[in-house]
Structure 1
Amino acid sequence: MKVNRLIVLLAAFAAFSVQAAEKLSVAATAVPHAEILEFLKPALKDEGVELDIKVFTDYVQPNVQVAEGRMDANFFQHQPYLESFNEGKGTSLVSVAGVHVEPFGAYSRKIDSLEDLEKGATVAIPNDPTNGGRALLLLQKAGLIKLKDDSKITATPRDIAENPKDLEFYELEAATLPRVLDQVELAMINTNYALEAGLNPTEDALIIEGSESPYVNILVTTEEKKDSPAIQALADALTSEPVRKFINEKYEGAVVPAF
């Protein structure tokens, strides 16, 4: 009887050890996603989940890595981008939780106001469909252009119906946009890349999205893993009060909690 009890106890301890040592690999862009994940690591470790965070500088590989099973989840994108990626790549990644909004902004080192944009000025926007469309919608809101369909989130420069200033658009990879600020009159930059480049969105952006932005950044994984205890623990942690406080205090309005 004592031997059987010992075997049961050892089995229970082994199961607990495996659970306590469970690793969860998450792909993220550096700012603010990886910073938020790093903030959560100690609390999650206490819950038996050890985060392995890998930083990426692009918006493609984090999804590829998860879709191919090389990483468990990613945290870098919003829902419109995820839907566009799934449709274009034939993947079926899913959202687990909405965490924050990074208000998209327009930046310049050559002008102090959008009113200073001269005829024929150059404007750099992201070359992926959803962020490029997001940039154009923001420029439309500022009154600089008019789109054929003023609600199309995947609009491109070809969808511009009215361009009174004859703005010249350049579509570039989102990560490179801060580096071309000296070469164009205006660059439409995602907040994560703006922060990485030392820009302060609340002070430096000539125009910026409001807190009503629908582009909430999400935790993403596969259908098979979305209900796993480790993924759910991460989702709960990302939408906790300590994270809300961390985001508000660290980013001072440049990143806005969405929960």
Structure 2
Amino acid sequence: MKKLVAAVLTGVLVAGTLSTGVYAKDDDKTITVAASATPHAEILEEAKPILEKEGYDLEVTVFDDYVRPNEVVESGEFDANYFQHIPYLDQFNEEKGTHLVNAGGIHYEPFGIYPGTKDSLDDLEDGDSIAVPNDTTNEARALLLLQDNGIITLKDGAGLNATVKDIAENPHNVEIVELEAAQVARVTGETAYVVLNGNYALEAGFSVGKDALAYEKSDSEAAKTYVNVIAVKEGNENSDKIKALVDVLKSDEIKDFINEKYDGAVIPFDDSADTEKADAEETDSKDTDSKDEAKEDTAEENAETTEAAEDAE
């Protein structure tokens, strides 16, 4: 867990805030949000006119660190923040004693498999090498992506703590080359493929949408885990204005904006599959209950019929 925390905190910026002049207001029609500049504040700016039509005034303040946005939501100075994924949120609560909760998942920034010396995963051959980041969190995401594409199989339960030691099956005997995350993109001329997270892919000149041979889907374990969320103080997640904010950020208009602007480096998180699954499970449960009740009714009727017959005798 400590390794996961260390990895999560690796990308944390430690400078002060750019602006701290906005405070949460009693006005139920004003929504104050603390956010990182890219892509979070940009997405929120796009949501402003939509919320305005619904009667809400969205005020966005950009912070350049990952601590103050949580502190100002905990203190009540801001209604919400938008900058972090769930593992960071959970660890912050644990370390700081805060009471922040996820009010809705909005987007994720996917890992992708990119061309090295080969341009298609169909060209994978025995003994090919694949470069991956070597830090705990990013290596696990890379290995899970390779598993999702049938290249390797991990041990049951390895999940987001997976390392190369957790590879259970390697049918092509691929060589996993572990490198510091910033170095992976530099070996495209030496390895068959490289696995990169969004920011390093962009820095390397890759377009996630055009160049990735495969990338994390919204129903993948990593996407669900590292989805960037709207965070609020516990108890406020069901307020009308927070629901309005989340609904707009998950709307088709905002999804279209994200897809067009970020070219796959940022992807709208779609939790409809989970919702449909939950609905299906609930329906199955209700059907089972109905069948059980029907069986009980039939049994009671049979018992009554038998009893009546015995009485007649």
Q: Is the 8 A contact 1:125 1:132 kept in 2?
A: yes
Mapped partners of 1:38, 1:111: distance in 2: 40
Q: Deviations over 1:54-94 (max 9, x none)?
A: 265xxxx53x3343337654434554665566567766532
Note if 1:221 corresponds to 2:232.
yes
Mapped partners of 2:139, 2:248: distance in 1: 31
Mapped partners of 1:133, 1:75: distance in 2: 25
Q: Give the residue type in structure 1 aligned to 2:257.
A: F
Q: From 242, 246, 256, give the equivalent of 2:253.
A: 242
Note if 1:67 corresponds to 2:58.
no
Identity rate, percent? 39
Q: What's the offset of the Cα at 1:231?
A: 3.3
- After TM superposition, the structure 1 = structure 2 runs for residues 1-259 of structure 1, keeping only pairs within 5 Å, are 19=27, 22=30, 24-28=32-36, 30-31=38-39, 33-44=40-51, 47-54=55-62, 61-62=65-66, 64-69=67-72, 73-79=80-86, 82-83=89-90, 92-114=99-121, 115=123, 119=127, 121=129, 123-125=131-133, 127=135, 129=137, 131-149=138-156, 152-162=159-169, 164-172=173-181, 177=182, 180-183=184-187, 185=191, 186-191=193-198, 194=201, 198-214=205-221, 215-216=223-224, 217=227, 218-223=229-234, 225-228=236-239, 230-250=241-261, 255-256=267-268, 258=270
Mapped partners of 1:49, 1:197: distance in 2: 38
The change in CA–CA distance for 1:41 and 1:90 in structure 2 (over 3 A counts) is same
TM normalised by structure 1 equals 0.66
Q: What's the offset of the Cα at 1:21?
A: 9.1
Q: Is the 8 A contact 1:121 1:166 kept in 2?
A: yes
Mapped partners of 2:41, 2:200: distance in 1: 13
Q: Is the 8 A contact 1:110 1:182 kept in 2?
A: no
Mapped partners of 1:195, 1:20: distance in 2: 39
- 2:27 is paired with a residue whose SS is helix
The change in CA–CA distance for 1:94 and 1:21 in structure 2 (over 3 A counts) is closer
Q: Is the 8 A contact 2:131 2:176 kept in 1?
A: yes
- 2:151 is paired with a residue whose SS is coil
Give the structure with higher Rg (CA): 2
Q: Deviations over 1:97-125 (max 9, x none)?
A: 12245543112454323445784736133
Cross-structure match for 1:4: none
Q: Is the 8 A contact 1:95 1:220 kept in 2?
A: yes
The change in CA–CA distance for 1:193 and 1:35 in structure 2 (over 3 A counts) is farther
Q: What's the offset of the Cα at 1:203?
A: 1.9
Q: CA RMSD in A?
A: 4.0
What is the aligned length?
A: 231
Q: Give the residue type in structure 2 aligned to 1:68.
A: E
Unaligned 5+ runs, structure 2: 1-24, 273-313
Q: Is the 8 A contact 1:125 1:187 kept in 2?
A: no
Mapped partners of 2:95, 2:127: distance in 1: 35
Q: Is the 8 A contact 1:127 1:171 kept in 2?
A: yes
Q: Give the residue type in structure 2 aligned to 1:200.
A: S
The change in CA–CA distance for 1:84 and 1:125 in structure 2 (over 3 A counts) is farther
Which is further off, 201-210 or 163-172?
Answer: 163-172
Q: Deviations over 1:193-229 (max 9, x none)?
A: 6457653223201222345335243222331543455
Q: What's the offset of the Cα at 1:39?
A: 0.7
Q: Is the 8 A contact 1:120 1:166 kept in 2?
A: yes
TM normalised by structure 2 equals 0.56
Q: Deviations over 1:33-64 (max 9, x none)?
A: 333222113344563433324265xxxx53x3
- 1:123 is paired with a residue whose SS is strand
Q: Is the 8 A contact 2:152 2:167 kept in 1?
A: yes
Work out which structure has the larger RCO, using CA pairs closer than 8 Å and 6 or more positions apart in sequence.
1
Q: Give the residue type in structure 2 aligned to 1:49.
A: D
Between structures 1 and 2, the one with greater helix share: 2
Mapped partners of 1:89, 1:188: distance in 2: 34
Q: What's the offset of the Cα at 1:137?
A: 0.9
The change in CA–CA distance for 1:168 and 1:91 in structure 2 (over 3 A counts) is farther
Which is further off, 111-120 or 100-109?
Answer: 111-120
Q: Give the residue type in structure 1 aligned to 2:48.
A: K
